[in-house]
Structure 1
Amino acid sequence: MDIKTLHDADIIGISTAKSAFDTLATAFGQHIESWQHDVVDRLGHSEWTGTAAGHANTRISNLGTELQSAKQELGLVSRALQDAYDGFAAAQAHLISALDDAKTHKLTVAADGGITWDKDPNSPNFAGNDAENQAKQIQSRITAALNEADHADQTINTRLGHLATNASNGTGLDSATAKADTDAANALEQVPAAGTDPNSVKAWWNGLTDEQQHRMILNHPDQIGNLDGIPAVARNDANQINLARGKQDIQRQLDGLGPAPATTIGSGRFIRPNPAYTDWQQKHDDLTDKMTGIKAIEARLNTKVDDQHPPTFLLGFDTNGHGHAIIAVNNPDTANNVSTYVPGTGARLGSINSDINRSDLMVASANTANRQAGDKSTTSSITWVGYDAPQSIIPEAADDTYAKNAEDKLVSFENGLHATHDGKIGNNTILAHSYGTTTVGYAMRDHGLPVDNAVLIASPGAGVENAKDLRIDPSHVYAAQSPADAIGWAAATDPSGMGDNIWDNIKSDWGFGDGDHHLMYGRQTTAPQFGANVMPVDPNAGHSDYWNAGSPTLTAMGQVIAGKPMQ
């Protein structure tokens, strides 16, 4: 598709053809009604019997089915033509808008899409100092419009070609074929259910024209934004809508709380806490916490893109429970290296800002590793708060139900990254902190994850005794835990594990221990017996200090994410 073809396209002809097929389908339907009334019904009320009558009735019945199937197929042609009109109209409108803006900015667009402008400040046609930037933006819009038209052309051509083949060889008269074609057309207008295989979702999405995709985003943002298998850009567009709606809803609920009730009720010796205030305070704190997270996401999405602040994509968002958000620094569909970061206890919408910051730091660290190796590869780091994480150390983090409930969600998300990526992901890493390592470990142990590396930071146990049980090459499993990190006191809860740890501590105190140790959810991941690559740490680092400036662990994270040797 070129600029002139799209600009001059007479798309009204498509609408006219659609109307003609509507007329044909209506007339055909009337003929079917006449056939039913004048032939089928009358024959049914006749007294004709015998072998010949039986054969005739069977053929007439079959013919009725064929007529109904043909009517369905005609209707599908009409629907395909309508989608074609919508798709080409949208692409044409986007092209014309871009060309009009080019004129406004005194830019000249050539037939091949090249853009030139007058650079003389003294000329009446001077395009201004920002001309180059404007030209890049407009050229990008023109390319997008042409691609949009190409996509619509290919998609509609496939649909019409299929229906034309059915008409020419008679398969369209088969009721099963007509039903399958109708189901396929209906499926284009229905969002796949949550949990659908991401590869099937991607195939469905690719079968839509750009205009249909746009309508899906506008009409079903809550489904599109959180559906694995939808490309990152589309998920981000949908979740921007979800974010705005979520903010409005949270503010409405805050306004609806009204002023705080009295903290106590009664008087004198009978003063006691006011249950109404307690309830108000809990609701107020929860809503305020979610609003904090929403504003943090807004701020990061709206941060001007530069070398220190790569673009971000909102891949998931809702305010259910403690709230969830999935945010990618750089586009994971186009980055060479992709890492998913799963935080642990306390992770929720309200605390998302610190987790996004960690993704920024990991991308910067990976970029440094690449530059030092003379590698121009790009990296995306995704903060995945797509599960209900425990919010307290005791009792919630002592319960592995949170990890178990997250397994299917994490597996689906990781499969979705592969389904939507442009080609094969160069180096794919799953990286987790604290209880997040238990969540990741359970998913890898029970289902396997399509990753190249697993990085376990400050783990209370990954649910396995050995790195090989994570179902990837154990030489690609990495672990870090500072001796000053209190997670090392997350003692095993089973009696044998507690006894083993006590004996291990005694041996270590006397200098003949072997370093084996069990924590709450399995063997300590930095123990030699676990079999992971132990990452360097600051010996004084606390539980949340692995991302601090100058941290050797952060440097190592970047090296692993970039696919470079850990130094």
Structure 2
Amino acid sequence: MASVTLPAPVAPLPVLISRPVGVLQLGNDLRAALVNGKDVQAWAEGSSGDAFGGQAADASRHALTRFSRRLDVTEAALESAVVATSRFEDRLARLSSQRLTLDGDRVGLNTALDDLRAEVAGASDAEVPLLQARADRLQQRAARLLADVVDWATRVADAEADFVAALARVDTFDDGRRAARDPGRAEVDGVLGRLGAGVADPAAVAAWWRLLSRAERQTVITEHPAIIGNLPGIPARDRDAANRADVGADVDELGTRVGQGEQLTSTERDRLANASAVSEILDDHRDDLDPRTGEHLLHLTQYQPDEHSGDGGVALFLGDPDRADHVAVYVPGTLSETGTLDGTLGNIDALHRAATDAGDGLVAVGFWLDYDAPSIDGLSPGELADLGSVVTPTEAAAGGDDLADYLDGLRASDTGPPAHLSLIGHSYGATTSSYAAHGGAPIDDLVLLGSPGAPTSTADALTSAEVHVGSADHDPVTLLGTDGPGGPGLPGPLGQDPAQDSFGGRRFEVDPGSYRVQDLLANHSSYFADESLDGVTGIVIGNDPDEVAGRQPGGYQTLDQLVLGSTVASGGEWLWERGNDAVDGLTGTVHDLAEGLLGLPYAFHPGR
């Protein structure tokens, strides 16, 4: 066997014990504690001794003033700890990303060594010079890699030491007092004053935020988390930090009061329920990392627990939309609210995984649910009336305006070349997304899944973006829209059926769904699987999906035809179970189905 000196394989890199997600959670906990502390301080400063008289009033005011000052000392220490934690988190995120790169180089080098070793085993003496030259080059690569690993490990140790030292500087009450008196301590009113009227302009907000120091950013986040967490133009990572602090503060404060036996108001109960639902999601995804960057995956970009009659408003991303090459925002529809997010999360998780596997760049997929999506809980008459509102586009139009603002914010906070931005709406969310697009939302692609209607008669009149339509043949909700010029149908309560050929959208292939009447509503919820998911994934990463012909009047089953045909195909048991005659009871059957779909008992009749 030929004799060639080979370098030794490079050993695995040291484990990064200080994990970015752990430091992220520490920062979230510190911010939540700071938010609660500032709330208590505001209460103390706003209280007075007016309920007393004489010396009692003076004593009360004096005690509250001392209490407020002592709280300020604690807050100053926490502010310093939050800034140190934020800096440490950023350093660890970079070090974690560098570790991924170094480990990839290590694997590539060791693979090349294995390949060369196999060649040497079967080589002749004449091949030794060339093989030794390759081995020498690999030795040089290994030496450079090992030096980079040592440098990386040194920077990890430095980052950890700096963090420990920063925390030690605010370890005692005297340290906190010095921090409170520091003339360089960020003053929140002055920081906000620099923004002024620009708060309504996402681009101005983004520019203002970039000019703030780390300490100023963290001070504003903890002083006004509800503002920063929901302000278009603020980067996703900082909105996430603010919203997580707000969620943690809500769960801690309201949960403690419940644990002490206090009766909450109806609004407070809704707020606690929404905060708890979001907190559970954050906990479930605490350790999830972006497969491409190694950084934490989930970013909470909207949290408004008191909005929409107690349903709450929430938006989040899997991936960082400010750094991604491909960004998709999904808008769910009827019966969606903050407390029922499992299905919505499952949809964006499936899409994020598929798009990450299929594409080359970074991917961020999120959902936006900060509008009054028609919902019902089966108990409140007010909720029943809410479901009936789906017959009108009122909430979709209002939601579309807010959605367009949210998308403007994503464009403003984007840190690199403009991302490819797709807006995906399902059911009533498709109608809402159509209104956002019609209002000028800065999107590249609009995807309408299971749409009950759009506000314009053509895609060109709707938006300059590409309009893609996923409409299953056996999805009854897609039969609620207007049929198009010369069509036999009644005017759709939510507008034009975008699956019509006359609309001009690019209809892509989806599974038609089961032709059993009891499965019709399930067909409406099947757009994030199989062929449909493939089509949506292609759109998100910038590819064109397989197209199919649009609907032509008379060339497809209308709603009543679908109900009757699928009932017959199912053996008629659905009608018989309801005691309806297959002919005389058809009107009632269509009535029941429409009412169950979208609360539209008067919009359909046989022969549509």
1:318 is aligned to 2:304: yes
The partner residue of 2:406 within 413, 418, 425 is 413
Question: CA deviation digits over 1:208-259, x for unaligned, max 9?
Answer: 1111111111211111111111111111111110111232355367668889
* Structure 2 residue matching 1:522: 3-state secondary structure: coil
What is residue 437 of structure 2 aligned with on the other side? Answer: 444
User: Which residues of 2 match residues 332-351 of structure 1 at below 5 A?
Assistant: 332-351=321-340
User: Which residues of 2 match residues 222-261 of structure 1 at below 5 A?
Assistant: 222-251=226-255
The partner residue of 1:539 within 512, 528, 539 is 512
1-structure distance, mates of 2:375, 2:150 = 50
1:389 is aligned to 2:373: yes
1:484 is aligned to 2:463: no
* Structure 1 residue matching 2:216: 3-state secondary structure: helix
User: Which residues of 2 match residues 210-289 of structure 1 at below 5 A?
Assistant: 210-251=214-255, 286=270
Aligned-partner residue type, residue 546 of structure 1 = S
What is residue 554 of structure 1 aligned with on the other side? Answer: 533
What is residue 174 of structure 1 aligned with on the other side? Answer: none
* Structure 1 unaligned blocks of 5 or more: 1-85, 103-130, 146-183, 260-278, 371-375, 505-516
* Structure 1 residue matching 2:232: 3-state secondary structure: coil
The partner residue of 1:527 within 482, 497, 500 is 500
User: Which residues of 2 match residues 121-520 of structure 1 at below 5 A?
Assistant: 135=153, 138=156, 141=159, 186-188=190-192, 196-251=200-255, 286=270, 290=274, 293-305=277-289, 307=291, 311-320=297-306, 321-370=310-359, 376-392=360-376, 394-445=387-438, 447-473=439-465, 476-490=466-480, 503=488, 519-520=492-493
The Cα of 1:358 is off from its aligned counterpart by: 1.2
1-structure distance, mates of 2:333, 2:235 = 26
Structure with higher Rg: it is: 1
Is contact 1:364-1:558 (8 Å) kept? no
2-structure distance, mates of 1:137, 1:358 = 39
Give the 3 Å change call, closer, same or farther, for CA 141–229 of structure 1 in structure 2: farther
Aligned-partner residue type, residue 156 of structure 2 = I
Is contact 1:312-1:329 (8 Å) kept? yes
2-structure distance, mates of 1:237, 1:219 = 12
Aligned-partner residue type, residue 334 of structure 1 = R
Question: CA deviation digits over 1:516-544, x for unaligned, max 9?
Answer: x8633222111111111112111116344
Give the 3 Å change call, closer, same or farther, for CA 526–254 of structure 1 in structure 2: farther
* Structure 2 residue matching 1:411: 3-state secondary structure: helix
2-structure distance, mates of 1:412, 1:94 = 30
Aligned-partner residue type, residue 138 of structure 1 = V
2-structure distance, mates of 1:225, 1:135 = 35
Is contact 2:446-2:468 (8 Å) kept? yes
What is residue 583 of structure 2 aligned with on the other side? Answer: none
* Structure 2 residue matching 1:525: 3-state secondary structure: coil
Is contact 1:458-1:543 (8 Å) kept? no
2-structure distance, mates of 1:480, 1:98 = 43
TM-score scaled to structure 2, two decimals? Answer: 0.53
2-structure distance, mates of 1:252, 1:522 = 48
The Cα of 1:142 is off from its aligned counterpart by: 8.3
Is contact 2:319-2:364 (8 Å) kept? yes
Is contact 1:328-1:382 (8 Å) kept? yes
Structure 1 consecutive aligned stretches of length 4 or more whose deviation exceeds 4 Å? 89-95, 131-134, 139-145, 187-195, 252-259, 282-289, 306-310, 497-501
Is contact 1:293-1:353 (8 Å) kept? no
The Cα of 1:423 is off from its aligned counterpart by: 2.0
TM-score scaled to structure 1, two decimals? Answer: 0.57
* Structure 2 unaligned blocks of 5 or more: 1-78, 96-148, 164-187, 377-385, 515-521, 547-608
Give the 3 Å change call, closer, same or farther, for CA 292–482 of structure 1 in structure 2: farther
* Structure 1 residue matching 2:447: 3-state secondary structure: strand
2-structure distance, mates of 1:469, 1:142 = 57
1:564 is aligned to 2:543: yes
Is contact 1:338-1:425 (8 Å) kept? no
Question: CA deviation digits over 1:69-114, x for unaligned, max 9?
Answer: xxxxxxxxxxxxxxxxx99x9679968x989xx9xxxxxxxxxxxx
Give the 3 Å change call, closer, same or farther, for CA 465–91 of structure 1 in structure 2: same
The Cα of 1:356 is off from its aligned counterpart by: 1.9
Is contact 2:477-2:524 (8 Å) kept? no
* Structure 2 residue matching 1:235: 3-state secondary structure: helix
The Cα of 1:299 is off from its aligned counterpart by: 2.9
Question: CA deviation digits over 1:449-498, x for unaligned, max 9?
Answer: 1111000000011211111112214xx21011112212034366xxxx89
Aligned-partner residue type, residue 389 of structure 2 = E
The Cα of 1:345 is off from its aligned counterpart by: 1.2
2-structure distance, mates of 1:405, 1:139 = 52
Question: CA deviation digits over 1:161-195, x for unaligned, max 9?
Answer: xxxxxxxxxxxxxxxxxxxxxxx993555666796
* Structure 1 residue matching 2:200: 3-state secondary structure: coil
2-structure distance, mates of 1:464, 1:428 = 22
Question: CA deviation digits over 1:12-35, x for unaligned, max 9?
Answer: xxxxxxxxxxxxxxxxxxxxxxxx
Give the 3 Å change call, closer, same or farther, for CA 214–537 of structure 1 in structure 2: same
Is contact 1:365-1:559 (8 Å) kept? no
Is contact 1:225-1:315 (8 Å) kept? yes
2-structure distance, mates of 1:256, 1:389 = 34
What is residue 273 of structure 1 aligned with on the other side? Answer: none
Aligned-partner residue type, residue 483 of structure 1 = D
2-structure distance, mates of 1:143, 1:330 = 29
Give the 3 Å change call, closer, same or farther, for CA 98–233 of structure 1 in structure 2: closer
* Structure 2 residue matching 1:519: 3-state secondary structure: coil
2-structure distance, mates of 1:462, 1:140 = 57
